[in-house]
Structure 1
Amino acid sequence: MTSQALIRPAWTPATIALMVVGFMIYWPLGLAMLAYILWGDRLESFRRDVNRSTDRFFGGLKRTGVANPFAETRTGNVAFDEWREKELSRLDQERRRLNEAAAEFESYARELRRAKDQQEFDRFMADRQNRASGQTIDGQPA
Structure 2
Amino acid sequence: MNQSALIRPDWTPATIALMVLGFVVFWPLGLAMLAYILFGDKLRAFKKDANEGVDRMCAGFKRTNWGQRTHHRTGNVAFDDWRTAELSRLDEERRKLDEMREEFDGYVRELRRAKDQEEFDRFMRERKSGRPGPEAGFESS
How would you bin the TM-score normalised by the shorter chain? Answer: 0.3 to 0.5
Larger Rg belongs to: 2
TM-score (norm 2): 0.44
TM-score (norm 1): 0.44
